[in-house]
A and B are shown apart, each in its own frame.
Chain A
């Protein structure tokens, strides 16, 4: 089967009509669809799935109701119609499929699935097919049971990655998937229906046996067993319902808890910010105290500014007065000395009399000096006052309060800004955390634990019940055989019938087992081939699926390897997918969601080389940065036939655009 084109109309985020063409070339057979978020890519996958089968899957593989499939924007504008058109070919036939929903006329605001009407049309080579056989035609080409093997969503990939983990679940899952890969519902239906017919036949046989005295006992036993069986089957139905119900609850809680890691981190951030806030507030309080302290003595600093020059002047004046006073003293002393010579005109050195003619210059000098001396006026009062003032003014001390106050104000301003910033961040965080109440989370975890325990109990009950049913059926077979072989029963129609159904059911059942077992080998074979090309580990030789459908990696000697290198899970998943795909189907496309998302760089090269060979058409829905065709190996770049990109227009609208 080869995809040609898909036309999306109002499907999930894709508003209006959007068309995608698939690569038709033999070697350029890869289509890349780049999308930033999961939603756009998953929706693309769902568009295809819904187009083919009328089913879109959400988390935990639950069906998405119709109301959530119609684009919200379009719906608010009153357009409640949505459709997917697929053009594809199979062999030499061309198919045109169109599936559409529209809200029912009488409904004004659709809510439930029933408020919508679904219609489907199919043309094969231009010829329209009637409604009741359309589904049949589709399944001939792309059977629904195996659709998961070509529409690979992220969840399935994750599931497969976990398959390397030992456990009973592992074997069951693989067994189930291989059975699905058989793609032969005919056998399974046959077996199930024969089983039902056998039950009826036994009843009839038992009734006949009642008429026979010898066989009456058997008849009654058979009756009893029949009643027990019905009761057990009802119990089983109940238990399975309970199981899926509880599982859904667990899934819901898991989804909720996944968000708590983010919340924990936010709470830690919150605590950090709260401490920062407290510290900042405390610093501010200290600064306010410091400010008040400084204000108490700032008045001195203020006055000091004006006082300092005044003080200098006063000190200068006092100094000059002191100078004058000293000068005066010096003059006086000189005058005194000269006067002494006048009064006692004896030379102190040679003891001779100073002659009269020499006296006059001395007198003159004394006069000059006296005149000078008189000019130097020193007011002691003034000096005293000056000293007093200087003393008083000197008391004005400055500790630089002004400068320190300015500095303090600056620091306060900066801290205020910081406080505002922290408060804003706190508000944002608190708003985000408010949505996640930790007490609630705690309770949810406890609830989950209880539910998981309940699941385990239910599993046990289911096993017991199944065992009862199995035992019961065996006993019924036994009695049926006894009746058949008895003299009274042999040859009876009812016994013949029972035998026939017993054998037919057995034949179909054994055939399923045989086919599945042979397929197991086939899957193993293809998966190993893929694995050996993908792995970089020299010791890894291939994959093994054992009798119990357990999956493991083996070396050249066929020994199971317990140790696993990083990235092995993803490689195993891809190999298994490839194996199942090749076994299950003839040629057809493979659509893979984020195939390299969790892949380590070591294996990237090999995987990119291999992917284009996995199918005739390979459609990869990738994350930005997951594949950079220009950076990644050239041989991959050459295989790309067409590139698209999901542009996010808004939260409710995206567009698929061709890109280079």
Chain B
């Protein structure tokens, strides 16, 4: 199995990610901590692993604009996903990670549209 060196999101989901970032980040010109694509991407993957998601293959081609070596420099994502027992046979780990991200970001967007915030209580409850 060949691991892809770049992964990303579908165009639609990519646009959703951008929108989320704009809503969550401070306004243009205002000082403050800013979230980037990687941050939400990683979080989507992590939460997917936590709840043992079974994401479907992407329904559209992804725009692979994230380099894997930048996304996952210590291979932490790779290792966690690899050992999660979720990856079906024959699927490259990073491709599975991409699927987790695609599903995760869509879910972020959906709940944010509905409630105006991310349900942190649900994500991080002990």
| Direct interface between A and B, CB < 8 A | yes
* A interface, size bucket: 20 to 34
CB of A637 closer than 8 Å to a CB of B: no
Residues of B contacting A288 in the complex (Cβ-Cβ under 8 angstroms): 26, 32
Interface stretch, picked from A245-253, A392-400, A446-454, A481-489, is A392-400
Binary interface encoding of chain A residues 387-420 relative to chain B, with 1 for a CB under 8 A from any of its CBs, else 0: 0010011011000011101100100000000000
- Whether A305 pairs with B50 at a CB distance below 8 angstroms is yes
- B31: min CB distance to chain A, Å: 9
- Whether A299 pairs with B46 at a CB distance below 8 angstroms is yes
Which partner residue on chain B sits nearest A310 by CB separation?
B83
- A303: min CB distance to chain B, Å: 5
CB of B121 closer than 8 Å to a CB of A: yes
A405 partner, pick from B40, B50, B74, B120, beta carbons under 8 A: B120
CB of A285 closer than 8 Å to a CB of B: yes
- B94: min CB distance to chain A, Å: 15
Question: Given A405-B120, A405-B124, do A296 and B49 touch, yes or no (CB 8 Å)?
Answer: no
How many Å lie between the Cα of A285 and that of B30 in the bound state? 11
* B interface, size bucket: 20 to 34
Question: Given A303-B80, A393-B80, A406-B121, do A295 and B39 touch, yes or no (CB 8 Å)?
Answer: yes
Interface centre among A296, A303, A395, A405 (most CB of B within 10 A): A303
Residues of B contacting A296 in the complex (Cβ-Cβ under 8 angstroms): 33, 35, 39
Residues of B contacting A293 in the complex (Cβ-Cβ under 8 angstroms): 33
CB of B16 closer than 8 Å to a CB of A: no
- Whether B47 pairs with A302 at a CB distance below 8 angstroms is yes
8 A Cβ contacts from A290-345 to B: 290, 292-293, 295-296, 298-303, 305-307, 310
- Whether A396 pairs with B43 at a CB distance below 8 angstroms is no
Binary interface encoding of chain B residues 28-60 relative to chain A, with 1 for a CB under 8 A from any of its CBs, else 0: 000011110001101101110110000000000
- Whether A302 pairs with B79 at a CB distance below 8 angstroms is no
How many Å lie between the Cα of A303 and that of B97 in the bound state? 13
CB of B84 closer than 8 Å to a CB of A: yes
- Whether B49 pairs with A292 at a CB distance below 8 angstroms is no
Residues of B contacting A292 in the complex (Cβ-Cβ under 8 angstroms): 24-25, 32-35
Q: Which DSSP category, helix, strand, loop or mixed, fits chain B's interface? A: helix
CB of A555 closer than 8 Å to a CB of B: no
How many Å lie between the Cα of A618 and that of B2 in the bound state? 109
Residues of B contacting A301 in the complex (Cβ-Cβ under 8 angstroms): 124
- Whether B120 pairs with A302 at a CB distance below 8 angstroms is no
- B26: min CB distance to chain A, Å: 8
- Whether B76 pairs with A392 at a CB distance below 8 angstroms is yes
- Whether B35 pairs with A295 at a CB distance below 8 angstroms is yes
How many Å lie between the Cα of A301 and that of B35 in the bound state? 17
8 A Cβ contacts from A271-291 to B: 285, 288-290
- B115: min CB distance to chain A, Å: 13
- B74: min CB distance to chain A, Å: 5
- Whether B33 pairs with A389 at a CB distance below 8 angstroms is no
Residues of A contacting B50 in the complex (Cβ-Cβ under 8 angstroms): 302-303, 305-306
Question: Given A403-B124, A406-B121, do A395 and B74 touch, yes or no (CB 8 Å)?
Answer: yes
- Whether B43 pairs with A299 at a CB distance below 8 angstroms is yes
Which partner residue on chain B sits nearest A393 by CB separation?
B79
- Whether A299 pairs with B35 at a CB distance below 8 angstroms is no
B46 partner, pick from A290, A302, A310, A389, beta carbons under 8 A: A302
Which partner residue on chain A sits nearest B44 by CB separation?
A299
Residues of A contacting B125 in the complex (Cβ-Cβ under 8 angstroms): 406
How many Å lie between the Cα of A285 and that of B32 in the bound state? 9
- Whether A302 pairs with B49 at a CB distance below 8 angstroms is yes
How many Å lie between the Cα of A182 and that of B47 in the bound state? 99
Interface centre among B75, B124, B126 (most CB of A within 10 A): B124
Residues of B contacting A289 in the complex (Cβ-Cβ under 8 angstroms): 26, 32-33
- B96: min CB distance to chain A, Å: 14
Interface centre among B35, B78, B80, B123 (most CB of A within 10 A): B80
Which partner residue on chain B sits nearest A397 by CB separation?
B76
How many Å lie between the Cα of A303 and that of B84 in the bound state? 10
- Whether A409 pairs with B121 at a CB distance below 8 angstroms is yes
- B92: min CB distance to chain A, Å: 17
A-B contact list, 8 entries, CB within 8 Å: A299-B39, A299-B47, A301-B124, A306-B50, A395-B79, A402-B126, A403-B126, A405-B120
**Nearest 6 pairs of A and B residues by beta carbon:** A402-B124, A302-B46, A299-B46, A299-B42, A392-B79, A292-B33
B residues engaging A (CB < 8 A)?
24-26, 32-35, 39-40, 42-43, 45-47, 49-50, 74-80, 83-84, 120-121, 123-126
